Amino acid sequence: MAENKRDRLDHLLNDLNSFVVGFSGGVDSSYLLLRAHSLLNKKIMGVTLRTPYMPDSEIKEASEFARSHNISHSIIDLSFPEPIRNNPPDRCYICKKILFGQLISFAADKGFSHVVDGSNADDAKSHRPGIRALKELGIRSPLMEAGLTKQDIRDLLDAEGLTIASKPSMACLLTRIPYNTPVSSGMILMVEQAEDFFRTSGYPGTRVRIHGDLARIECNPANFAKMTQSRDRELIISGLKKIGFRYVSLDLEGYRSGSYDPENNRP
């Protein structure tokens, strides 16, 4: 039961006692931050790392969540790490090493004993190179350690009446760009604007993968008919072309996490 796992989480958090939460504003880190705050109050702080490849909307939502729950929160601005400028296959590992290294320094400066992140139990079963970096740095993942899955976390948030329970999963915008591709600010902006377009047009959770001047749309297959057979089709084509795409395509496999990863591209 999720409640039993929550009790294990509480025990872990109380043992840690004083820590910084790497807070992206997503479902997992939001639940972790909220639970930690309810137990430890001023002994914890949420810290959001603002990079050029994190959507502005996520930063705003993270800030609003912390503010609405009176949780101590800080934002650290970071420049684009040059080791991942060409989007290498081990990008996530390198990025986590750099970003959480910054969090470790921040926590030490502020007198916190630990740094924790919002990885959940499902993440241990999927392609998550960043988890190796976290382990090497000594970052704790209390949700994972407690056995809490994504669905457990959504259920617990829903039980508390929090609308963030239904928030779609989010990942950094670099995951929308093919590996071994030089990343420009223009590419990131096009992806961010395209996904903002879908979010405000009633298609939350839609991903836009960029292939040069082609947009490959990944969405819930339940939305295929509406996207292709209604007035929305022309609106989508027009909207994405205004952003700068020349071609607009719908991926018939629908949304799947890590679609650029080799193991997800086998026939």
pLDDT more than 90, % of the chain: 89
Residues 41 and 141 in one domain: yes
Contact 53, 80 (CB under 8 A): yes
Contact 260, 171 (CB under 8 A): no
Label residues 162-189 b or e (16+ Cβ within 10 Å = b).
bebbebeebebbbbbbeeebebeeebbe
CATH of the domain at 217: 3.30.70
Q: Which residue has the higher pLDDT, 123 or 257?
A: 123
Residues 181-222 have pLDDT tens digits of 999 999 999 999 999 999 999 999 999 999 999 999 999 999
* 267, pLDDT greater than 50: no
Q: What is the CB neighbour count within 10 angstroms for residue 8?
A: 14
* Sequence-separated (6 or more) residues with CB below 8 Å from residue 115: 19, 20, 22, 100, 103, 104, 107, 137, 138, 139, 140
Residues 81 and 177 in one domain: no
The token pair at 107 is: 């926590």
- Mean pLDDT (the chain, rounded): 93
Residues 132-170 have pLDDT tens digits of 999 999 999 999 999 999 999 999 999 999 999 999 888
Residues 90-125 have pLDDT tens digits of 999 999 999 999 999 999 999 999 999 999 999 888
Output the DSSP codes for 103-135: HHHHHHHHT-SEEE----GGGGGS--HHHHHHH
Residues 216 and 116 in one domain: no
* 259, pLDDT greater than 90: no
Domain that holds residue 150: 2-166
Domain boundary among 117, 133, 166: 166
Pairing mode, strands 44-50 and 19-22? parallel
Domain boundary among 166, 201, 217: 166
Confidence band of 2 (pLDDT split at 50, 70, 90): confident
Residues 122 and 219 in one domain: no
pLDDT at position 56, please? 92
CATH of the domain at 57: 3.40.50.620
pLDDT at position 261, please? 66
Closest CA to 22 of 87, 84, 106: 106
Residues 177 and 116 in one domain: no
The number of folded domains in the chain is 2
Pairwise CA distance, residues 187 & 184, whole Å:
5
Residues 155 and 212 in one domain: no
Contact 117, 92 (CB under 8 A): no
pLDDT at position 266, please? 42
Mean pLDDT value of segment 12-39: 97
* 262, pLDDT greater than 90: no
